[in-house]
Amino acid sequence: MDRRQFLKSGGFLTVSAATLGLSGCFGSGGGGDSPRSYTFPQGVASGDPQPDSLVLWTRLGDASADTAVTLELSTSAGFASVLHSVTVTAQAQWDYTVRHKVTALQPGTVYYYRFRAGSSVSQVGRSKTAPAAGTPLSQLKFAFVSCQDWSVNHWAAFDELLQQDLDFVVHLGDYIYETVGAAFQTGKVESRHSQITLPNGTKRSDGASYATTLADYRTLYKTYRSDSRLQALHAAFPVIAVWDDHEFSDDAWQDRQTYSTGDDASKATSRRRDANQAWFEYMPADVSFDAANPSFQNIRIYRAFSFGNLATLVMTDQRLFRADHVIPEVGAGSEVGSRYFVPKSTLAAVESQKMTAAGGSLDPVSILGSTQRQWWKDRMSAANTTWKLWGNEVSLLRMQVNGTQAVAGMMVQSLIAANAGLAALQSQLTTALVSDLTTAAAAVPSASKATQAPAPAYTQTKAVLALAGVSGTVFDAGIKPQLDAALPPAQFFDTFLLNADQWDGYNAERKALLQHLKDNAIGNVVALTGDIHAFFAGSVMDDFDAASPVPVMVDLVTAGISSNSFYSYFESVVDGNAAFAKTKPLIYTEQGGVRTNTFNSTLTTFNPWLKVANTDAQGYAIVTLTPAKLSCSFHTLKPLAAGAAPALPATRSITRLEVAAGSPTVTVLA
């Protein structure tokens, strides 16, 4: 093809080849320079760095009709010479956004770009192409981030990230939050972020509104990108982004929303398509989008990148193709028992039933869907780089709690607090109580387990206490009432998965992916994960339920940039739900009005593969990659103070960890 010709790909992504001195025109409308001025209210952005291409983005403000916009590219920040100039059109039908892919670039090279419209010039953006495939690299440095709710906490993280020398930024989703005015978004945000009003929106019963139309979703992106700090981040580094759920709807699957029980029985195809289009318009991503396709699956965002001989990065889409939650909300009666706090054995049984009914297929219990799952396997098998990184939206790490052991542990701690002499019998008491509670909970009728506490005979417990000289009379009069008062409903005496919206809820597919890595001896695989508003790090096992699980890969999970923490959700549950009230010590203890987080230790107690668990944090992660190791630092941010973000440095603490090449384990550094 003639290098002076222009190409047009899916949607409105335009493409041109960078040839010195080339100047051309692409698109309709505009017809040359205009003396009027324009603004670029959302700044500029770049994304999806390949060895020979970049996607460059801006949005034209104050336009009332299709308008010509000229993109200029240079290797000089001052534009001493213009390497490439091309005129495109900011079109009304795409909300006056411009997405242009420049090809024929040099690998591993820093480029500067800007846009002109009429008499106006945008700010200058900086970007960098990926190194050529196979090029020996000594180091790669990048950040990975997620969950930046405009309406919660602060965005000082972006100012800090600007101080880093990064090759790129990975964004794992929840770039916007579709809901505004929710209780958790009220009164807890920096004053520079005003309340968002949606032009349409749908009111929920709790008074919050959620984005419903294309105008709503566009309003969210325009508002989020009006923040100068986020603009500066996009202008400084290329961003490789995928979505999670909030770019469409909380805990979404395909074109289904899940705000209430039974909500996802009805399709929300138009809403899903509008969410797809707005993301496509505002993200500098080299992805295909077909507006003429009437399906909600009219976009493909999963894609892969390589960086010399050092790293392959595979970005997946874990919402558009996923099956319904294995236990639907209708079957459980609410999100508790379906998406959250799900009995592990029940989920495993239902998952097995669904697979059997489908002839062994994973499709009814899949996050990725069959086509993307095979693509993931193929990309992992074909990767010839030292490291294989997976941009993975929801955590692969098992997060479970054995309710019987947890309650027994709380009860024993209470006994020891009242009688320090029992400390020597702690292990025996715990074992005895687990036995007594298991027997008693099994005796409660299924229909009553949610409300009725078990009535243990404490046979084993009495026998252990007798070793310390505690008589049956003393037990019945003083100790039994104390133990009985601590008993939650019988439903808690089971092993639970805390979050079945992540990979714990799709265990069969997780095992299949891990088996593929094992069978093909694919090592040095590290997932980069967001979603859960907490820092976690640990090994992903071939089978978390095996007697001796084997580590296969590593999952590194970053906290949200600003979103409320994982801990705060569970804190609100034990504070606000009477059925969970007696489990408070598993989440926090309180003395003198000061609460101490016990949730971290609860999780590490029942999930030994978790080497880092910081459930009450906002922050971001920085990765430095070399042939010998992956070094990661989790940056926990200081809190909002009097409506203002903290002055720099905004980081309160840093957790540093390493993954050595050849070992799917995490080492936490002192």
Residues facing residue 89 across a β-bridge: 68
**What is the spatial distance between Cα 173 and Cα 363, in angstroms, rounded to a whole number?**
23
What's residue 276's pLDDT?
A: 98
Report the predicted TM-score, pTM, of the whole model to 2 decimal places: 0.95
Cα separation of 413 and 435, whole Å? Answer: 17
The alpha helices in 292-369, defined as continuous H runs, are 329-332, 344-357
pLDDT value, residue 24: 52
| Residue of 655, 622, 626, 633 whose CA lies nearest to 144 | 622
What is the pLDDT at residue 25? Answer: 55
What's the CA gap between 22 and 3, in Å, rounded? 9
CA distances to 349, 373, 541, 588, 593 from 352, in Å: 5, 19, 20, 35, 47
Phi-psi region of 11 (alpha: psi -120 to 50; beta: other; left: phi over 0): left
In three-state secondary structure terms, 437 is helix
pLDDT of residue 459: 97
> Would you state the pLDDT for residue 1?
29
C-alpha distances (whole Å) from 238 to each of 57, 164, 228, 469, 636 are 11, 13, 16, 69, 23
The neighbouring-strand residues paired with 45 are: 57
CA distance 153 to 148: 9
From CA 319, how far away is CA 253, in angstroms rounded? 5
Q: What CA–CA distances, in Å, run from 279 to 59, 299, 391, 467?
A: 13, 10, 17, 66
pLDDT along the chain (670 residues), means of 10: 37 83 50 75 98 98 95 97 96 96 97 97 98 98 98 98 98 98 91 97 96 98 98 98 98 96 95 98 96 96 98 98 94 83 95 98 98 98 98 98 96 90 94 97 94 96 94 93 94 96 98 98 98 98 97 98 97 92 94 96 98 98 98 98 96 98 95
Residue 165 Cα distances to 92, 141, 270, 309, angstroms: 36, 7, 41, 20
